[in-house]
């Protein structure tokens, strides 16, 4: 397996671990009954941050150093389109839906952008065939839309439903990174 591909897969594993720590924090800190508050649960955000940062560094370095023979999405489009998407979503959800703009919005958009760029790169290096890459791109967009729906709905839900709703983006991100990793590793 190519060094760049291996680096990206290590980034995916780091992102899965990040999601697991973030999910554990959410499960404890947002329990509808007797939440575990303060640093008794907050410490879980430290390894989530470390593994999340490592994931971004590994994946972005892999994307930037890969020798692409082809792409599905022009590589130069992903970052500006994602930045514009974030701004538009922040305005729409904040101003028109009266939903506070929180860190989760940027995490959803950044995760989708990173995953789209990764799949694009994996296709460009030949690690994924066209049909599989297109499938992963479509599922990434679907998962991002589901995550956005969960983000928008969160403050309108009761505590039990909101508790579950808040887990959805974390679970979907981890599942996607695992699916991509397994497919690439298996060849």
pLDDT in tens, 80-131: 999 999 999 999 999 999 999 999 999 999 999 999 999 999 999 999 999 9
Model confidence over 40-51: pLDDT tens digits? 999 999 999 999
- In this prediction, residue 187 carries a pLDDT of 79
Closest CA to 16 of 177, 138, 169: 177
- In this prediction, residue 169 carries a pLDDT of 98
Helices (H), the chain: 3-29, 39-42, 45-65, 75-91, 103-124, 130-153, 159-165, 168-186
Rounded distance, CA 64 to CA 69, Å? 13
Using the predicted structure, report yes or no on whether residue 1 has a pLDDT greater than 80.
no
CB atoms within 10 A of CB 172: 21
Q: Record the pTM.
A: 0.95
Domain boundaries in the chain?
A: 3-186
Mean pLDDT of the chain: 97
Rounded distance, CA 141 to CA 52, Å? 20
Largest CA distance in the chain: 54
Identify the residue whose tokens are 């590793």: 185
Local confidence band at 75 (pLDDT 50, 70, 90 cut-offs): confident
Rounded distance, CA 115 to CA 137, Å? 8
């Amino acid at each position: 397996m190519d060094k760049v591909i291996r680096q990206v897969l290590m980034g995916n594993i780091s992102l899965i671990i990040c999601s697991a720590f973030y999910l554990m924090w959410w499960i404890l800190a947002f329990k509808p009954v007797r939440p575990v508050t303060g640093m008794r649960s907050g410490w879980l955000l430290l390894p989530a941050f470390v593994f999340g940062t490592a994931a971004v560094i590994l994946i972005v370095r892999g994307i930037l150093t890969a020798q692409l023979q082809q792409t599905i999405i022009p590589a130069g489009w992903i970052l500006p389109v994602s930045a514009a998407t974030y701004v538009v979503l922040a305005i729409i959800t904040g101003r028109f839906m009266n939903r506070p703009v929180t860190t989760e919005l940027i995490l959803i958009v950044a995760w989708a952008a990173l995953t789209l760029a990764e799949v694009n790169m994996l296709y460009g290096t030949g690690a994924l065939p066209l049909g599989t890459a297109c499938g992963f791109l479509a599922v990434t967009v679907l998962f991002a839309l589901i995550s956005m729906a969960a983000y928008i709905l969160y403050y309108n839900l009761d505590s039990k439903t909101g508790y579950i709703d808040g887990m959805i983006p974390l679970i979907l991100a981890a599942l996607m990174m695992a699916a991509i990793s397994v497919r690439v590793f298996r060849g």
